[in-house]
Structure 1
């Protein structure tokens, strides 16, 4: 099995479709890598990954908006095609097995410039909170008490 993991920003809002009675969330993720070329000049290379998330849990779809940073992992597929001018092309797609929201460019700070807490509703009705603030040292001192080993 080959597994692909990508962290990047969504290029546009996701689209939820139903194909043969199954739900699929389609979105694209851009990962930009910065590097220096052989002359020492700073360069950027952006790789776009088309993602298809086949799931009944479409509750995440409202949060998959343009600019949102996500972590997605799954099985990669390379698709080849011919352009109108006869040239060969290729695209990278990902059959997503899991996706996690990491935030967005505008998220993370409230009006006072302080980290904010975000709450999400899952498809089964339960909710969870994501606090973007760093944990305090007091929280870390108690963390060792919960270790299973």
Structure 2
């Protein structure tokens, strides 16, 4: 099995579809890599990944909006196609098994912490003490170590 992990920002709001009675959440992630070329000039290269998340947990879809930063993991697929001008092209797609919300647009507050995996229930985050401290500076007594 080949596994691919991507951290990036959503290019547009997700779309929920039903195919043969099964729900699929489709979205696109942009991952931008910064590097220096052979002359030492700073360069950027953006890779777009089309994602298909086959799941009944469509309640995640309102949080998959343009600009949100996410982590996705799944199986990659490369699709070849012919453009209208006759040239060939390829696209990278990912059959998603896990989605984790990482952040969002500047000034936005995170709506749902944790991850959603197809084979398990949504994670509740790292704080296993049963709640979130009301003050950031408040000490948490229930440390897992």
- The bucket for the TM-score relative to the shorter chain is 0.7 to 0.9
TM-score (norm 2): 0.79
Q: Which runs of 5 or more residues in structure 1 are unaligned?
A: 109-115
Structure 2 CA distance for aligned equivalents of residues 32 and 17 of structure 1: 28
Which consecutive segments of 4 or more residues in structure 1 shift more than 3 A? 116-120, 126-131, 135-139
Structure 1 CA distance for aligned equivalents of residues 78 and 54 of structure 2: 18
Question: In the alignment, which residue of structure 2 is the partner of 1:88?
Answer: 88
Q: Which runs of 5 or more residues in structure 2 are unaligned?
A: 117-121, 127-131
Q: Which has the higher strand share?
A: 1
| Deviation string, structure 1 residues 28-77 (Cα, Å, up to 9, x no partner) | 00000000000110000000000000000101000000000000000000
- CA spacing shift, 1:127–1:30, aligned 2, 3 Å: closer
Structure 2 CA distance for aligned equivalents of residues 12 and 33 of structure 1: 19
Q: Which has the higher helix share?
A: 1
Whether the aligned pair in 1 keeps the contact of 2:63 and 2:112 (CA below 8 Å) is: no
Whether the aligned pair in 1 keeps the contact of 2:26 and 2:50 (CA below 8 Å) is: yes
Question: In the alignment, which residue of structure 1 is the partner of 2:102?
Answer: 102
TM-score (norm 1): 0.77
